[in-house]
Amino acid sequence: MKVLVAVKQVASLDEDFEIRADGKDVEADFLLRDLNEWDDYSLEEAVKIREAATTPVEVVAVCIGPDDADEALRKCLAKGADRAIRVWDDAMLGSDSIAIARVIAAVARREQPGLLFAGVQSADHAFASTGIAVAAFLDWPHAAVITQLAYTPGAAHAVVRRELEGGVLHEMRIDCPAVLTIQLGINTPRYASLRSIKQAAAKPIEVLAHADLGIADSEVGEGGSLSRVRRMYVPEKGRAQMIEGSIEEQAARLAQLIEERAGGAA
Amino acid sequence: MIRDPTAVTRVLFEDFAPAAIAAFYVVAFAAVTVFCFGVYVEVRKYRRGSAADVDGRLLARFQAMIGTVLSHRTVAHRDRAAGAAHRLIFYGFVLLFLGTATITLDYDLLGPLFGVHFWHGAFYLWFSLVLDVAGVLLTGGLLYMMYRRGWLKPPKLDYTRPDRQPGDPDYDRSGYRREDWAFLCTLLVIVATGYLLEAARLVWLEARPDVWAYRWWSPAGAALAEGLRAAGMSAAAGGALRTGLWWFHGLLALVFIALIPFTKVKHILTAAGSLLLRDPLAAQRLPRVPEQQQRAGAQYITDFSWKQLLSLDACTKCGRCHEVCPARAVGAPLSPRDVILSLREFANRTLESATLPEQAELDVHGKGPGQVAMETLWSCRTCMACVEVCPVAIEHVPVIVQMRRKLVEEGQMDPQLKRTLQTIHKTGNSFGESKRKRAAWTKALPFAVKDARQEPVDVLWFVGDYASFDPRNQKVTQGLAWLLREAGVDFGILYDGESNAGNDVRRVGEEGLYEVLATSNIESLSAASFKTIVTTDPHSYNTIRNEYPDFGGRYEIEHYTTLLLRLLQEGRLNIARQLGLRVTFHDPCHLGRFNKGYEAPREILRLLGCELIEMGRCRANSFCCGAGGGRIWMPDPVGADRPAHNRMREAAAISGLQVYVVSCPKDLTMFEDALKATGNEGRFVVRELIELVREALAHRQAQGAPGVAA
């Protein structure tokens, strides 16, 4: 039995960042990269299944991204993933979340996992669509925002619990194989010591190109995506202004402003 | 003058049947055999530990050990009465042992083998006198120790454990108490029967001038003999008593020898061994994890080195570490003494058997008997107070950090600490700030601070996390920048090339992250051009000074206090006015105890015209603020006392105190909080030494410096 965990190397903004010259993203120098927080929880859930199992379970982490995403995969290996796969080639640049899901689905077809985990969303782009789209491509059942999971490796179904609005819990049984998107707080992710991350560097990461998975060029990259980034920008700040001067001056200025605004509305 | 010197000696086996003499030798050999077997078992136990990193300067080590043992320097350290009493016992015991060895040499070796005898005549008389005095010394020491245990009852001799609950099997360690008393009583009985035996022999042989005429060479024995005679004892009765006592005294002494390796008496050997193997930088420079080693840290008892296993056996439960431990003082579940004793008991149970138990039974982590709980390990501040005070050179800090390394590998730590370590990994600092903001504090200065990576400087200032990012400390940092500029020091910083120095990360037990930080800093430092390093942070100071060399970073580094002192003495900084403040000074662990930087800050305070009132616990005995060992990244239990509060109350007892002076960024944070929490705000203030220096120089900075808030 195998659990496939889809993970992403997300970016967070450094202090005083700058937007890239083409206006479509933040300049890479100003990004701090790390494993997506939700994926930390889904990987932990997979490792917990393996640790509790009486039959062999393999945890495979898969990531779609360039070389520097190896860092996220190494963290997964350090935390207990048995294997790691990274899919990337230059043609995949510009893929939207659905195109990414298509690639993950292809990996799932090859790996044949009993369960496929993804985080509810990524901390940077927050589409919250990749996991669900993978289920659609595979035509597997899916459940989103899982806060508790009961599953015995090899079982025909899993029981999951989800939190709904108003504090209501939603418990459902889902046939396997299935795609589950995991919510924060489902467990306590373990600490990956720097030593274990270093030792994980010795474990190989399998690197594939989209063609290796039988995906056509037209199905990846901007060409294979139905959405595109137009621009990324920081909205102009609000136009609050301090009114200086003595109390009388401030009151007079304030009255004048109200007059202007009210007058304009009338 | 002695008529026939060979006749003036002591009868040994006179009137004994050959069978009795033979029986004595059988018992004696049996005792020595048991002793040797015990030593063998212990040595086998130590050899089951891992390799130890001990340098080979054996002669120098040996000389130092002999010096320490003979002077009793460490035993008398901060407990002069116990030191004096132990000195009496030690010298009494050694002399009596040498005396017995002399008899063996004469009677059993040189005599039978070469027909040479020397144990008679004047030599014998002096021998008698010396041994009689030795017995008195030993008795005096033993009686004082009994008085101490039975009546004085110092709290440090209370073996009740802070890391166990009442009702736990090893809660009060009462077995040790019984052993202590058995040890003292047995030795006392041996000495007392020795004197009585001597007196009985004198009464028995009162008719022999070669014995009786010289009786006062054994003054205590002779006085006792006179007493026995006055009480009406006849020579025959003396002879009968002598025979009985001879066997009792002899057998008891032999049993004592046989039991040395099995009881606390073994410290006479293990303490010497531990002192011989002492690492003077045990806490300052923690051991590296070998590249090839699979597991980091100590999980099994066999992960400790043979040297550490030996030093566990050196502990005599003197309780000094227990007394000075800041964690123990505030009720945390840690006593360095109990960590050592637990591990010792664990080692004895698992490693003394003929074959090793299976590995699972060797795991020292947990709450079982002899195991150490993670709460205990995480309570440690690695302040080194225990290592400094230990009379037998037990090195607690590396033991605790090695056990923490295993907890870190398993992620068994406080969630806040876990987050901090991840933050440090991600951003290179514990504040989670962008690397780019590390030098943001320089923006408030009207001059630019050089980037040592871009242009050569004389002095490279390693700023450290707290001094760089903490808003309160930034003011102090800016203050030092002013002073350096004022003194015309050519200095620069590494800007975003500097990372957390890693001192506390290493003491937390995150060795991998420490290696990353140390390597990254060494890389930045090698890219810069400078002559010396100065730092405001004693923690950075310690690790760069003592630990970076292990990673190839060898630098001349000083704490700012020595640099400022020099600038003041050389007149490059001129004091405009004497402050006339009544102050006390808190020695930071990493500057004082770790690196012996006691004098410079005090000398600066003197130059500033401050009246320094020392706290009871100062210099090597300084009391940790509670932030060390990564504790600054862990929440303290709500409602519990804290080391910083304990320290504030100590300072508050100084009447008329105006300023509590610190010289460490973490101290400033810890003690300003503690000042408020203990309700001392308004009574006195906490100030960095840098701030006082600036105040004393104030007139020269009228040219645009921001004033020091006082």
- The confidence score (pLDDT) of residue B268 equals 96
Structure tokens given for B665: 């960024």
Beta bridge partners of A157: A175
Among B411, B436, B515, whose Cβ lies nearest the Cβ of A16? B436
In this complex, how many residue pairs, one in chain A and one in chain B, have their CB atoms less than 8 Å apart?
46
Residue A177: is the preceding peptide bond cis (ω within 30°)? Answer: yes
| Residue A34 one-letter amino acid | D
Residue B547 to residue B285: CA distance in whole angstroms: 5
Q: CB of A14 within 8 Å of any CB in chain B?
A: yes
**Is residue B563's pLDDT more than 50?**
yes
Percent share of chain A, pLDDT over 90: 78
Residue B165 to residue B73: CA distance in whole angstroms: 36
Residue B236 to residue B214: CA distance in whole angstroms: 20
B239 contacts B219 by C-beta, under 8 angstroms: no
Residue-wise pLDDT for A132-171, tens only, equals 999 999 999 999 999 999 999 989 999 999 988 898 999 9
* Cβ within 8 Å, pair B512-A196: yes
Among A188, A193, A198, whose Cβ lies nearest the Cβ of B408? A193
B138 contacts B187 by C-beta, under 8 angstroms: yes
CATH 1.10.10.10 fits domain B24-274:
no
Residues present in chain B in total = 710
Average pLDDT over residues B395-422: 96
DSSP tag of B109: I
Q: CB of A15 within 8 Å of any CB in chain B?
A: yes
Helix (H), strand (E) at residue B416: helix B415-427
**Is residue A263's pLDDT more than 90?**
no
**Is residue B603's pLDDT more than 70?**
yes
Structure tokens given for A110: 């090859």
**Dihedral over Cα of B428, B434, B440, B441: its sign:** negative
Which residue of chain B has the CA closest to A32? Answer: B426
Among B434, B437, B510, whose Cβ lies nearest the Cβ of A193? B510
Closest Cα to residue A97, out of A218, A233, A231, A229? A229
B699 — pLDDT class (breaks 50, 70, 90): low
Which residue of chain B has the CA closest to A195? Answer: B512
| Residue B333 one-letter amino acid | P
Q: What would you measure as the largest C-alpha separation in chain A, in angstroms? A: 81
Closest Cα to residue B410, out of A45, A46, A192? A192
Describe the crossing of helices B18-47 and B336-351 by its angle, rounded to 10 degrees: 110
Mean pLDDT value across chain A:
93
- The confidence score (pLDDT) of residue A202 equals 87
Q: CB of A58 within 8 Å of any CB in chain B?
A: no
User: Which residue's structure tokens are 């982490």?
Assistant: A61
Which of B291, B406, B408 has the most A C-beta neighbours within 10 Å, making it the best mutation to test the interface with A?
B408
Q: How far is CA A206 from CA A60, A61, A108, B539, B656, in A?
A: 11, 10, 14, 42, 71
Burial class of residue A62 (count of CB atoms within 10 Å of its CB; 0-12, 13-18, 19+)? buried
Among B409, B415, B437, whose Cβ lies nearest the Cβ of A193? B409
Residue-wise pLDDT for B281-290, tens only, equals 999 999 999 8
Q: CB of A32 within 8 Å of any CB in chain B?
A: yes
Residue B404 to residue B163: CA distance in whole angstroms: 17
* Cβ within 8 Å, pair B512-A32: no
| Residue A45 one-letter amino acid | E
B270 — pLDDT class (breaks 50, 70, 90): very high
Average pLDDT over residues B41-59: 93
3-state SS class at B64: helix
Give backbone dihedrals phi and psi of B49, rounded to 5 degrees, phi first.
Answer: -80, 175
CATH 1.10.1060.10 fits domain B301-415:
yes
**Dihedral over Cα of B682, B688, B691, B695: its sign:** positive
- The confidence score (pLDDT) of residue B99 equals 95
Pairing, β A2-7 against β A115-119: parallel
3-state secondary structure B189-214: HHHHHHHHHHHHHHHHCCCCHHHHCC
Closest Cα to residue B392, out of B72, B22, B59, B12? B72
Among B418, B436, B510, whose Cβ lies nearest the Cβ of A14? B436
Average pLDDT over residues B607-630: 97
Q: Domains of chain A by range and CATH?
A: 2-224 (3.40.50.620)
For residue B500, list chain A residues with Cβ-Cβ distance below 8 A.
none
B95 contacts B134 by C-beta, under 8 angstroms: yes
**Backbone torsion region of residue B529, taken as left when φ is above 0, otherwise alpha when ψ lies between -120 and 50, otherwise beta:** beta
Which residue of chain B has the CA closest to A191? Answer: B411
Pairing, β A31-35 against β A142-150: unpaired
Q: CB of A29 within 8 Å of any CB in chain B?
A: no
* Cβ within 8 Å, pair B408-A15: no
**Is residue B686's pLDDT more than 50?**
yes
* Cβ within 8 Å, pair B425-A195: no
B482 contacts B707 by C-beta, under 8 angstroms: no
Contacts of residue B589, Cβ cutoff 8 Å, sequence gap at least 6: B381, B383, B384, B385, B538, B622, B624, B628
Contacts of residue B521, Cβ cutoff 8 Å, sequence gap at least 6: B462, B498, B499, B501, B502, B544, B548, B553
Average pLDDT over residues B104-116: 94
* Cβ within 8 Å, pair B409-A32: no
* Cβ within 8 Å, pair A193-B433: no
A149 contacts A157 by C-beta, under 8 angstroms: no
Among B415, B422, B436, whose Cβ lies nearest the Cβ of A15? B436
Q: How far is B289 from chain A (nearest CA, A)?
A: 10
User: Which residue's structure tokens are 């999951």?
Assistant: A160
Closest Cα to residue B560, out of B529, B544, B538, B528? B538
Asked whether the domain spanning B301-415 has the same topology as the one spanning B24-274, the reply is: no
Question: How far, rounded to the nearest angstrom, does the alpha carbon of residue B597 sit from its chain's CA centroid?
Answer: 18
Residue A81 to residue B610: CA distance in whole angstroms: 62
- The confidence score (pLDDT) of residue B458 equals 98
Average pLDDT over residues B154-174: 91
Which residue of chain A has the CA closest to B506? Answer: A194
Mean pLDDT value across chain B:
95
- The confidence score (pLDDT) of residue B556 equals 97
For residue A191, list chain B residues with Cβ-Cβ distance below 8 A.
408, 410-411, 413, 418, 421-422
- The confidence score (pLDDT) of residue A264 equals 57
| Residue B497 one-letter amino acid | G
Among B415, B436, B510, whose Cβ lies nearest the Cβ of A194? B510
* Cβ within 8 Å, pair A194-B437: no
* Cβ within 8 Å, pair A190-B289: no
3-state SS class at A39: helix
A176 contacts A135 by C-beta, under 8 angstroms: no
**Is residue B689's pLDDT more than 50?**
yes
3-state SS class at B175: helix
CB half-sphere exposure, A234, CA atoms < 13 A: 9
Q: How far is A176 from chain B (nearest CA, A)?
A: 32
Q: How far is A177 from chain B (nearest CA, A)?
A: 31
- The confidence score (pLDDT) of residue B53 equals 87
A85 — pLDDT class (breaks 50, 70, 90): very high
Which of B406, B434, B520 has the most A C-beta neighbours within 10 Å, making it the best mutation to test the interface with A?
B434
Among B418, B433, B512, whose Cβ lies nearest the Cβ of A195? B512
Average pLDDT over residues A173-199: 94
Q: What are the residue ranges spanned by the domains of chain B? A: 24-274, 301-415, 418-703
Residue-wise pLDDT for B641-680, tens only, equals 999 999 999 999 999 999 999 999 999 999 999 999 999 9
Give backbone dihedrals phi and psi of B607, rounded to 5 degrees, phi first.
Answer: -60, -30
- The confidence score (pLDDT) of residue A242 equals 84
Residue A178 to residue A192: CA distance in whole angstroms: 28
A65 contacts A8 by C-beta, under 8 angstroms: yes
Which residue of chain B has the CA closest to A80? Answer: B410
Which residue of chain B has the CA closest to A197? Answer: B512
Residue A18 to residue A30: CA distance in whole angstroms: 7
**Dihedral over Cα of B51, B55, B58, B64: its sign:** negative
Residue-wise pLDDT for B574-596, tens only, equals 999 999 999 999 999 999 999 99
Burial class of residue B422 (count of CB atoms within 10 Å of its CB; 0-12, 13-18, 19+)? middle
**Which has more pLDDT, A246 or B31?**
B31
Residue B391 to residue B386: CA distance in whole angstroms: 10
Residue B243 to residue B474: CA distance in whole angstroms: 82
Which residue of chain A has the CA closest to B420? Answer: A191
For residue A32, list chain B residues with Cβ-Cβ distance below 8 A.
426-427
Q: CB of A48 within 8 Å of any CB in chain B?
A: no
Taking a contact as any Cβ pair under 8 Å apart, which residues of chain A between 181 and 220 contact chain B? 188, 190-198
DSSP tag of B544: I
Which of B295, B424, B425, B429 has the most A C-beta neighbours within 10 Å, making it the best mutation to test the interface with A?
B425
**Which has more pLDDT, B710 or B453?**
B453
Q: How far is A195 from chain B (nearest CA, A)?
A: 5
Which residue of chain A has the CA closest to B508? Answer: A193
Q: How far is CA B545 from CA B35, B502, B509, B597, in A?
A: 45, 12, 19, 13
**Backbone torsion region of residue B32, taken as left when φ is above 0, otherwise alpha when ψ lies between -120 and 50, otherwise beta:** alpha
Residue-wise pLDDT for B329-387, tens only, equals 999 999 999 999 999 999 999 999 999 999 999 999 999 999 999 999 999 999 999 99
Q: How far is CA B256 from CA B9, B65, B189, B262, B267, in A?
A: 26, 25, 11, 10, 14
Among B436, B437, B516, whose Cβ lies nearest the Cβ of A194? B516
Which residue of chain B has the CA closest to A188? Answer: B415
For residue A34, list chain B residues with Cβ-Cβ distance below 8 A.
426
* Cβ within 8 Å, pair A191-B434: no
- The confidence score (pLDDT) of residue B481 equals 98
- The confidence score (pLDDT) of residue A179 equals 98
**Is residue B705's pLDDT more than 70?**
no
A245 — pLDDT class (breaks 50, 70, 90): confident
User: Which residue's structure tokens are 């501040």?
Assistant: B381
Residue-wise pLDDT for B461-509, tens only, equals 999 999 999 999 999 999 999 999 999 999 999 999 999 999 999 999 9
Beta bridge partners of B450: B492
B interface with A, Cβ–Cβ below 8 Å: 289, 296, 408-411, 413, 415, 418, 421-422, 425-427, 433-437, 510-513, 515-516
Which residue of chain A has the CA closest to B409? Answer: A193
Closest Cα to residue B503, out of B629, B589, B325, B327? B629
B261 contacts B273 by C-beta, under 8 angstroms: no
Q: Taking the CB of residue A239, how many other CB atoms lie within 10 A of it? A: 5
Q: CB of A233 within 8 Å of any CB in chain B?
A: no
